[in-house]
């Protein structure tokens, strides 16, 4: 090989394998020419060692197993799919479990031969006297909850309380002197900061994964802004702690975002400060009490803000008002934009929902609304948000047992002002229409005047009319939309 060719080959080899050698020539040239040297890059920082954190925090993390007797025919469903749907933020029926194991082995301790639905999850100790925190969806509707500590001790747990809206639950086991985790300050959590998760993905106890905080205050939660991370979270991690490098809990691992069913680098955790506030209420009373304004807010678009003279897109645009609710009593009108709630700025619709929920029922709050080009102050007295715990019955599929819900309807009574405006003596406004009602073409805002030829002015009258419908028979209603009234026939069935 000629010398020139050998020289070129050597240079190519250096470029691929000798990165340091690539910089040597130019740097030497700069020094020889007398020019100032380039700014040195920042020193390399070693990756964190999580081993000490695992030794300290691991003993306070628990494994949770649940079982539920199948109560209705046809309930043998793909539990893995239910869990994945919930973790993507997609609503699923309430019989879903936390993080199920495929093909569970039979339990020799069962008292009967009823089929069982089983699940797995994680949790962590928040009270040395036996209090454990986990996700609500892990233990929701479970007949039995078993908690296993890292020292292999196993306890039957009592569900002290759960809150589906925030996905937080508190359990109690008969144990003392349990190891505790320190709670961190979420306000000091930074995007890019290292975090670690401990849990039981797919049933593998005390599995550790790590990553960084990808974003804060993601509006994927209904009442809570969530922490986004790239920590690997899989079925079974639900309810486990998210820890910072100081070994402090900053969140509860709850959801993932995925298009394939597997982890794709986006997971969400409930901020621990909010979770502990909910846990304290659950420990005190077994439930969480929230305030309600009785309005349905939407975000304000840029076009709407400019059109109404608001200037910039901010506030909560009121699209619906609960009849005789706190908002209507305070004088809130359709089309109002609520810009402040008790002195706090409302940037978007979710802010109004969260501020109202965080306020105790019975509290008087000041509202600033933007209406027809001017600001107006109103005073509202909040009511209690209805409990999210809905009892289930074996007859839940029959119209006679569940009333309006079986036909896909939720309704509310008309206010005196609405009756006067529509020139009617009674009627029920449709709030949502799904299932049979949706298939029949009914929509939110329609007004039901009669059901099976019985006039309805109150919800009680409507339920009484529905109770007389024989199972499997159709329901005929007189419905008004705008100025036009027509008869609509609803056929029973799911979908």
Taking 60 as the threshold, does the pLDDT of residue 294 lie above it?
yes
Mention every residue, 6+ apart, whose C-beta is less than 8 A from residue 331: 378
Do 319 and 442 belong to one domain? no
What does the pLDDT read at residue 371?
92
Residues 252 and 316 in one domain: no
User: With bands split at pLDDT 50, 70 and 90, how would you rate the model's confidence at 43?
Assistant: low
Answer yes or no: do 453 and 416 share one domain.
yes
The answer to whether position 359 is within a domain reads: yes
For residue 178, pLDDT beyond 80: yes
3-state secondary structure 448-478: EEEECCEECCCHHHHHHHHHCCCCCCCEEEE
How far, in Å, CA of 276 to CA of 297, rounded?
27
Instruction: Clarify whether residues 86 and 232 are in a common domain.
Output: yes
Paired sense of beta strands 248-256 and 182-183, if any:
parallel
The predicted-structure confidence for 146-165, as pLDDT tens digits, reads as follows 999 999 999 999 999 999 88
Does some domain include residue 42? no
Query: What's residue 275's pLDDT?
Result: 93
- pLDDT-derived band at 221 (thresholds 50, 70, 90) equals low
pLDDT in the model for residue 99: 43
Four-CA torsion 100, 103, 107, 111, nearest 10 degrees: 80
Query: Mean per-residue pLDDT for 238-243?
Result: 93
Residues 202 and 239 in one domain: yes
Rounded Cα distance, 287 and 285, in Å: 5
Same domain, 449 and 426: yes
Give mean pLDDT, residues 219-223: 67
Residue 369: per-residue pLDDT: 96
Residue 132 lies in a domain: yes
User: 374 forms bridges with which residues in the sheet?
Assistant: 371
87 and 165 housed in the same domain: yes
Bridge-partner residues for 123, per DSSP? 62
Residue that finishes a domain, picked among 288, 315, 334 = 288
Mean pLDDT of 436-440: 85
Residue 397 has pLDDT above 80, yes or no: no
Q: Are residues 259 and 159 in the same domain?
A: yes
Which residues, 6+ apart, have CB-to-CB distance to 28 below 8 Å? none
CA 257 to chain centre: 12
**How many whole angstroms separate alpha carbon 103 and alpha carbon 84?**
17
pLDDT tens-place string over residues 312-347: 999 999 988 888 899 999 999 988 999 999 999 999
CA dihedral 105, 110, 116, 118 (to 10 degrees): -60
Residues 92 and 72 in one domain: yes
Give the range among 82-91, 163-172, 240-249, 475-484 with minimum mean pLDDT: 82-91
Last residue of a domain, one of 254, 288, 322: 288
97: in domain: yes
Q: What integer pLDDT is reported at residue 263 of this predicted model?
A: 63
User: pLDDT tens digits, residue range 477-492?
Assistant: 888 888 777 878 888 7
Q: What is the pLDDT of residue 362?
A: 94
Percent of the residues in the chain that have a pLDDT greater than 90, as a whole number: 39
Binding site for substrate, residues?
137, 167, 236-238
Using 50, 70 and 90 to split pLDDT, how confident is the model at 467?
Answer: confident
CATH code, 238: 2.40.10.120
In a domain, 394, yes or no: no
Catalytic annotation, residues: 137, 167, 238
Last residue of a domain, one of 351, 384, 417: 384
How much is the pLDDT for 495? 45
Which is higher by pLDDT, 13 or 196? 196
Q: Which of 96-105, 332-341, 439-448 has the lowest mean pLDDT?
A: 96-105
Same domain assignment for residues 234 and 321: no
Residue bearing the bigger pLDDT, 112 or 214? 214
Residue 278 counted as domain residue:
yes
Least confident of 33-47, 139-153, 268-282: 33-47
User: Which pTM was predicted?
Assistant: 0.62
pLDDT band at 12 (very low <50, low <70, confident <90, very high): very low
Judge whether residue 76 has pLDDT over 60.
Answer: no
| pLDDT for position 83 | 55
CA distance 141 to 396: 15
Q: 187-220 burial, b if ≥16 CB within 10 A, otherwise e?
A: eebeeeebbbbbbbbebebbbbbbbebbebebee
Query: Is the Cβ–Cβ distance between 73 and 82 less than 8 Å?
Result: no
SS (H, E, C) the chain: CCHHHHHHHHHHHHHHHCHHHHHHHHHHHHHHHCCCCCCCCCCCCCCCCCHHHHHHHHHHEEEEEEEEECCCCCCCCCHHHHHHHHHCCCCCCCCCCCECCCCCCCCCCCCCCCCEEEEEEEEEEEECCCEEEECHHHHCCCCEEEEECCCCCEEEEEEEEEECCCCEEEEECCCCCCCCCEECCHHHCCCCCEEEEEECHHHCCCEEEEEEEEEEEECCCCCCCEEEECCCCCCCCCCCEEEECCCEEEEEEEEECCCCCCCCCCEEEEEHHHHHHHHHHHHHHCCCCCEECCEEEEECCHHHHHHHCCCCCCCEEEEEECCCCHHHHHCCCCCCEEEEECCEECCCHHHHHHHHHCCCCCCEEEEEEEECCEEEEEEEECEECCCCCCCCCCCCCCHHHHHHHHHCEEEEECCHHHHHHHCCCCCEEEEEECHHHHHCCCCCCCEEEEECCEECCCHHHHHHHHHCCCCCCCEEEEEEECCEEEEEEECCCCC
Say whether pLDDT at 122 is over 90: yes
Same domain, 144 and 233: yes
Binned at pLDDT 50, 70 and 90, residue 8 comes out as: very low
Query: What tokens appear for 248 in the block?
Result: 């402090």
* Residue 22 pLDDT > 80: no
Residue with the bigger pLDDT between 199 and 405: it is 199
- Looking up residue 468, the CATH number of its domain turns out to be 2.30.42.10
Residue bearing tokens 């029920």: 428
| Domain-located, residue 183 | yes
Confidence band, pLDDT 50/70/90 cuts, at residue 205 = confident
Paired tokens of 435: 């299932």
* Tens-digit pLDDT profile for residues 347-370: 999 899 999 998 999 999 999 999
Domain count, the chain: 3
Range of the domain at 466: 399-490
Query: With b meaning 16 or more CB within 10 Å and e meaning fewer, what string describes 427-460?
Result: bbbbeebebbbbebebeeebbbbbbeeeebbeee
Instruction: Let me know whether 275 and 302 are in one domain.
Output: no
pLDDT of residue 135: 94
Query: Which residues does the annotation place in the binding site?
Result: 137, 167, 236-238
The residues, ordered by sequence, that sit 6+ positions from 249 with a Cβ below 8 Å of its Cβ are: 124, 181, 182, 183, 184, 241, 242, 243, 272
Residue 26 lies in a domain: no
pLDDT tier at 113, thresholds 50, 70, 90: low
């Amino acid at each position: 090989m000629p010398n020139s060719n050998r020289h070129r080959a050597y240079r190519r080899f250096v470029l691929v394998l000798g990165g340091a050698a690539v910089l040597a020539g130019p740097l030497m040239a700069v020094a020889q020419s007398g020019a100032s040297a380039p700014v040195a890059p920042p020193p390399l920082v070693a990756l964190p060692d999580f081993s000490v954190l695992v030794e300290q925090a691991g003993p306070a993390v628990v494994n949770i197993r649940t079982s539920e007797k199948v109560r209705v025919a046809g309930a043998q469903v793909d539990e893995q799919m239910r869990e994945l749907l919930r973790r993507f933020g997609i609503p699923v029926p309430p019989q879903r479990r936390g993080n199920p194991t495929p093909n569970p082995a039979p339990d020799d301790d069962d008292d009967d031969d009823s089929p069982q639905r089983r699940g797995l999850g994680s949790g962590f100790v928040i009270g040395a006297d036996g209090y454990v925190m986990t996700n609500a969806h892990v233990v929701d509707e479970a007949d039995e909850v078993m908690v296993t500590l890292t020292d292999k001790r196993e306890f039957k747990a009592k569900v002290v309380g759960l809150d589906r809206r925030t996905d937080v639950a508190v359990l109690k086991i008969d144990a003392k002197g349990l190891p505790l985790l320190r709670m961190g300050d979420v306000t000091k959590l930074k995007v890019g900061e290292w975090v670690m998760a401990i849990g039981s993905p797919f049933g593998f106890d005390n599995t550790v994964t790590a990553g960084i905080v990808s974003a804060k205050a993601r509006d994927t939660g209904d009442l809570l802004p969530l922490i986004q991370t790239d920590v690997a979270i899989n079925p079974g991690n639900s309810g486990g702690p998210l820890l910072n490098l100081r070994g402090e809990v900053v969140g509860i691992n709850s959801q993932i975002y995925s298009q394939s069913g597997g982890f794709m680098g986006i997971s969400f955790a409930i901020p621990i400060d909010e979770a502990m506030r909910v846990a304290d209420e659950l420990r005190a009373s077994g439930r969480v009490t929230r305030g309600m304004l009785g309005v349905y807010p939407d975000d304000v678009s840029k076009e709407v803000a400019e059109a109404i003279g608001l200037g910039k897109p901010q506030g909560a645009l009121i699209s619906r008002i609960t009849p005789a609710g706190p908002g209507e009593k305070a004088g809130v009108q359709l089309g109002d934009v609520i810009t402040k709630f008790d002195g706090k700025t409302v940037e978007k619709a979710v802010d109004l929902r969260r501020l109202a929920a965080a306020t105790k029922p019975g509290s008087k709050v000041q509202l600033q609304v933007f209406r027809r080009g001017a600001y107006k102050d109103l005073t509202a007295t909040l009511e209690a948000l209805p409990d999210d715990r809905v009892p289930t019955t074996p007859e839940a599929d029959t119209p006679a047992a569940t009333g309006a819900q079986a036909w896909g309807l939720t309704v509310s009574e008309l206010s005196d002002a609405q009756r006067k405006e529509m020139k009617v003596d009674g009627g029920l406004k449709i709030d949502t229409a799904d299932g049979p009602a949706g298939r029949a073409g009914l929509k939110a805002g329609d007004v039901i005047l009669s059901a099976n030829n019985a006039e309805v002015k109150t919800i009680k009258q409507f339920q009484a009319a529905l109770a007389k419908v024989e199972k499997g028979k159709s329901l005929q209603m007189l419905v008004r939309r705008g100025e036009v009234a027509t008869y609509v026939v609803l056929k029973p069935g799911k979908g």
